[in-house]
Homo-oligomer: A and B are copies of this chain.
Amino acid sequence: MALPGSRPVRAARGTELTARSWQTEAPLRMFHNNLDPEVAERPDDLVVYGGTGRAARSWEAFDAITAELTGLADDETLLVQSGKPVGVLRTNPWAPRVLLANSNLVGDWANWPEFRRLEAEGLTMYGQMTAGSWIYIGTQGILQGTFETFAAVAAKRFGGTLAGTLTLTGGCGGMGGAQPLAVTLNGGVCLIVDVDETRLRRRAGKRYLDRVETDLDAALAAVLTAKEERRALSVGVVGNAAEVFPELLRRGVAIDIVTDQTSAHDPLSYLPVGIGVEEWHDCAAADAEEFTRRARESMAAHVAAMVGFQDAGAEVFDYGNSIRDEARQGGFERAFAFPGFVPAYIRPLFCEGLGPFRWVALSGDPKDIEVTDRAMLELFPENEHLRRWITAAQEHVEFEGLPARICWLGYGDRAKAGVRFNELVASGEISAPIVIGRDHLDSGSVASPYRETEAMIDGSDAIADWPLLNALTAASSGATWVSIHHGGGVGIGRSIHAGQVGVADGTALAAEKLQRLLTNDPALGVMRHVDAGYARAAEVAAERGVRVPIAA
């Protein structure tokens, strides 16, 4: 059932303004772009992605936001409270044009029942990370994030490439389906197990997966040959991970990396051994409790095999699906023997202020992104990793909504890229302004003890001062819109995070703003990790001149 007032939305294209300047045209187009049917999961309900992550609270709020942005002056600021516009203020030209706070609740009330009560009363909405902050860019983010994780695995353990390595994983669904391509883009070989052949076939159709096999021996022969030849290859094999993983362990197959993205976080979405794909939903519906018990039992076998591979020397990690805790409940005691992916691979990147930098061409013209892609490769010629990703993205990514690009950049490089984009807009090489933002999942912008700040070395996982300082910093450094959200990714009560977006409109003021914004924003990431005592962050701060008053 669509919300009242629903209609198809698509951002304006081209070089003509529909608002009073590009500083307001930018949030207006990005707000609309988030609801483009190519981008949003359920646009009629204003849902962009991630469960119920919305761009506006109601269609009435949608209309009012659109009207206000259309008329807003360059020294005015629109306030948005959980998807509803609540005020317009006179501020100053350096201030953000839009300030957003979404889904925030006082601690003792920060739980799903209270949130849902307030949502049902029309008093709040769930903003996720980039839905309510108008900088979601579709599925490119998933591919790039997975690519980046496997690149980090390569950097940590295999000399910077996965060439000559074999990765075993499970789950080829909406998110997990990015794994085989992410592995091959890093030069490696991937064997991915899914119970549902149709999920494997869908990915093979889109070139995300090279081959599908129903026979394990055939699949194994293919991946082992490719590994031997140091040739990138991905093979999907139909089977239950809780049977295939232990079988491969028993056979002593030389597997280098093991992870999993079956949807283990919800036991009814994980198929237990002994139940066929056709019977799955009926069985789960008939007796959810018994199904859960059997799913956890299977997950225990699945995770036991993963720990077995780890004992045999493989690199093993949890990829954010909670399978460790489910296996523990299924009776396997050593389930937490391997780490989550953030402490294992992403934190070292965070120490350098590295994180998901993204930009969008407001013109709607894919040629503008081509120009930025080229500019990136020219700016960072020594960055082989970046070249591999940009080349792969050009080949594999179909734009959804306004053309966009994402890549991970660290402290220093983000500002360089932003200033360069602004020059290209000024010179006319890019036809209209570029919007530059990022995910809330970044090095200094989120407190989330079950994910981004899991297992900080100083135990500061739950300290939430950092995302708030991050948002205040963005508002003080020339961002065009700034957001503070609660509960993105891991749910209500479990995270606080901030976002910022700047606009390269080709003006001198934009150049100054981008220089400071894109320096200061990742600086918070470096500072947060210096403060926690990470040696690499202290090195980065010292080398690149990040000013930290007290050493950890």
A284 adjacent to chain B (CB < 8 Å): no
**With known contacts A92-B94, A465-B104, A486-B107, A87–B549 Cβ distance under 8 A:** yes
**Residue A458 contacts which of B103, B121, B486, B528 (CB distance < 8 angstroms)?**
B121
Q: How far is it, in angstroms, between the C-alpha of A460 and the C-alpha of B109 when the chains are bound? A: 11
Within the complex, what minimum Cβ distance (angstroms) separates A412 from chain B?
A: 14
Further 6 A-B residue pairs, CB within 8 A, beyond A105-B463, A468-B468: A67-B549, A82-B463, A84-B550, A99-B473, A107-B494, A118-B460
Report A463 CB to chain B, min CB distance, Å.
6
A57 to chain B, nearest CB (A): 10
Write the nearest CB–CB distance from A286 to chain B, whole angstroms.
34
B104 and A496 contact, CB distance less than 8 A: yes
Give A82's nearest chain B residue, CB to CB: B465
Chain B residues with CB below 8 A from A523, complex form: 87, 89
Q: How far is the CA of A520 from the CA of B102 in the complex (A)?
A: 20
- Which B residues are CB-close (under 8 A) to A218? none
Residue A447 lies at the interface, judged by CB distance under 8 Å to chain B = yes
| Beta-carbon nearest neighbor of A68 in chain B | B549
Q: Which residues of B sit under 8 angstroms from A516, Cβ to Cβ?
A: 89-92
Known: A82-B463, A107-B105, A496-B104. A477 touches B89 (CB 8 A): yes
Enumerate chain B residues within 8 angstroms of A118, measured Cβ to Cβ: 459-460, 462-463
A111–B493 alpha-carbon span in the complex (Å): 12
**Is B492's CB under 8 angstroms from A109's CB?**
no
Q: Are A493 and B107 in contact (CB under 8 A)?
A: yes
Pick from B99, B465, B512: contact of A102, CB below 8 A.
B465
Is A473 in contact with B520, judged by CB distance below 8 angstroms? no
Chain B residues contacting A494 (CB-CB under 8 Å) are 106-108
The answer to whether A114 touches B473, judged by C-beta atoms less than 8 angstroms apart, is no
Q: If A106-B462, A494-B106 touch, does A85 touch B482 (CB 8 Å cutoff)?
A: no
Residues of B within 8 A of A547 (CB): 87-89
Please indicate the chain B residues that have their CB under 8 angstroms from the CB of A308 in the complex.
none
As a 0/1 sequence over residues 54 to 73 of chain A, the CB contacts with chain B under 8 angstroms (1 = contact) are 00000011001101100000
In whole angstroms, what is the CA distance A121 to B463 when docked? 12
What is the interface of chain A mostly: helix, strand, loop, or mixed? mixed
Q: Answer whether A92 and B472 are a contact pair too, CB < 8 Å, given A87-B524, A104-B463, A465-B104.
A: no
Contact among B86, B105, B478, B549 with A531 in the assembled complex (CB-CB below 8 Å): B86
Question: Top 8 nearest A-B pairs by Cβ distance?
Answer: A107-B110, A109-B462, A95-B476, A101-B465, A107-B493, A104-B464, A88-B547, A85-B549
With A92-B94, A92-B476 known to touch, is A548 a contact of B87 (CB < 8 Å)?
Answer: yes
Q: Which of A93-150 contact B (CB under 8 A)?
A: 94-96, 99, 101-111, 114, 118, 121, 123-124
> Which of A84, A114, A123: most chain B Cβ within 10 A?
A123
A449 at the interface (CB under 8 A from B): yes
CB 8 Å contact bits of A500-531 with B (1 = contact, 0 = none): 00000000000010001001100110011011
Chain A positions 446 through 470: 1 when the CB is less than 8 Å from some CB of chain B, otherwise 0: 0111000000001111111110110
B468 and A484 contacting across the interface, CB-CB below 8 Å: yes
Q: Is A349 located at the chain interface by the 8 A CB criterion?
A: no
Report yes or no: B527 in contact with A105, Cβ–Cβ below 8 A. no
Quote the shortest CB–CB distance from A252 to chain B (angstroms): 43
Contacts of A477 in B (CB 8 A): 89, 91-92, 95
Contact status A105-B475, CB under 8 Å: no
